[in-house]
Amino acid sequence: MFVRFLEDTNWLLILSLVFGSAALAVLGDSLGSKYGKKRMSLFGLRPKHTSRLITAFTGALIAVGVLAVMSVFSQDVRTALFGMKMLQQQMYDLQFQLTRSEENAQQARVSLAEASASLDLTSFELDSMRNDQLILELQRDELQASLSLMREESRQLRDQIKALRSDAIALSANVLLGQSAFEPGMSREEISQRINVLKQQVRLNVLTLISNRSLTRMRDVPVEFDQETEAALIEELAGADMRQYVRALSGENYVFGENLRINVRLENGTSILTYRDGTPVYRKFFAGSDTAKPEEVLHIFLRELRNKALNDGILPDPATNNVGTLEGEAFFSAVDELGRIGGPVIISAIASGDIYTEGPVVIDIIFEE
């Protein structure tokens, strides 16, 4: 360590200061002695005082020389001599900034403590809200279970009421009781006669439907038509320039009883030729499958046929939403023929007669292998 101290020491600077100071001291002493022996006087001083002045001036030069040399060779000396006040001011500024930083840090610690307390409170409130949410979810599940149970009970009650009502209903609402077509140019007498024929058809259909419902043969059931509506309808049909249809529908649900009276409403509209006799109404290709039963294939075909007819503007039966009926004998005959083919087949529904807007859709089923 001592060796390193000797190596790091600036011996050149030290020796220069020592020899320079010694030289200046010798020079000052020589000058003082010289001026003292000659008894010279400077600035009117006595020779003894002049000698002392020269000695003091020499000592000052030594100090100035030492400071100058050290200032040249040392940054720290220059800073200590010429920048001390600036350093002190910087120290004061740094001390002030440190004090401010400590105050800010103290405020930050206080804010952090408050934030931590607020966070703890928020966490507690969040836990409380989660507990409340769990309670609400449990209550919701209980309510949903109760609601499902109530819906099931309501459905059972509706089914029971429906069953009771269906046994008591003699004729449901919106049942198609009859329909007729009227060509343009018919006279009022011809229209009136055809409406009377329609009314007779309606009465016959009402008796048949109610007899089938009650399982007893009904001899007579009062059937009523609105006379004002009928008169207005005759006038409208007489002035029509296109083919018109008239449909007779039951007005509401009618229950068996002593005062059973059937009110019938008449509806009319334009009758357009939708399918001509012998033209295909609907065709579909079935690839054939071992798992597909002929009955299922035919049911799918008839359902799609109904949707096609509805899209083409055929009016359905309001009570059943059907556009026509296929007799049971014809259906099972078609099933047998489809079963015999077994493989890929094209099923076509061919119009059996002209089919207008009011329907019904009467078809013949044809299979093409």
Tell me the average pLDDT of the chain: 78
The structure tokens listed for 211 are: 């007899």
Please check the confidence at residue 88 and state whether its pLDDT lies above 80: no
Select, from the ranges 7-16, 26-35, 228-237, the one with the highest average predicted confidence (pLDDT).
228-237
User: Could you give the C-alpha distances from 229 to 224, 239, 317, in angstroms and in order?
Assistant: 12, 16, 22
- % of the chain surpassing 90 pLDDT: 7
Give yes or no for a contact between 178 and 202, defined as CB atoms under 8 angstroms apart. Answer: yes
pLDDT band at 356 (very low <50, low <70, confident <90, very high): very high
253: closest CA among 168, 195, 350? 168
Sequence ranges of the domains in the chain: 9-82, 176-271, 275-368
Quote the CA–CA distance of 277 and 275 in Å, as a whole number.
Answer: 7
Quote the CA–CA distance of 301 and 192 in Å, as a whole number.
Answer: 40
Residue 29 has a pLDDT of: 64
The structure tokens listed for 26 are: 């010798």
The pLDDT tens digits for 313-352 are 888 888 778 887 777 777 888 888 888 887 788 888 888 8
Residue 26 — φ and ψ, nearest 5°?
A: -65, -45
Is 0.85 surpassed by the pTM of this model? no
The pLDDT tens digits for 212-234 are 777 667 677 788 888 888 889 88
pLDDT band at 193 (very low <50, low <70, confident <90, very high): very high
Please check the confidence at residue 240 and state whether its pLDDT lies above 70: yes
**Coil, helix or strand at residue 64:** helix
Question: DSSP labels for 344-358?
Answer: -EEEEEEESS-EETT
Cross-strand partners of 366: 348
Please check the confidence at residue 168 and state whether its pLDDT lies above 80: no
Q: How far apart are the first and last CA of the chain?
A: 116
Q: Which amino acid is at 42?
A: L
Please check the confidence at residue 70 and state whether its pLDDT lies above 80: no
The pLDDT tens digits for 105-155 are 888 888 888 888 878 788 878 888 888 888 888 888 888 888 888 888 787
Residue 127 has a pLDDT of: 82
Q: Which amino acid is at 367?
A: F
pLDDT band at 60 (very low <50, low <70, confident <90, very high): low
Give yes or no for a contact between 20 and 65, defined as CB atoms under 8 angstroms apart. Answer: yes
Helical H segments across the chain, by residue range: 2-8, 11-37, 47-73, 75-82, 84-168, 188-214, 227-238, 294-311, 328-341
The structure tokens listed for 312 are: 């083409």
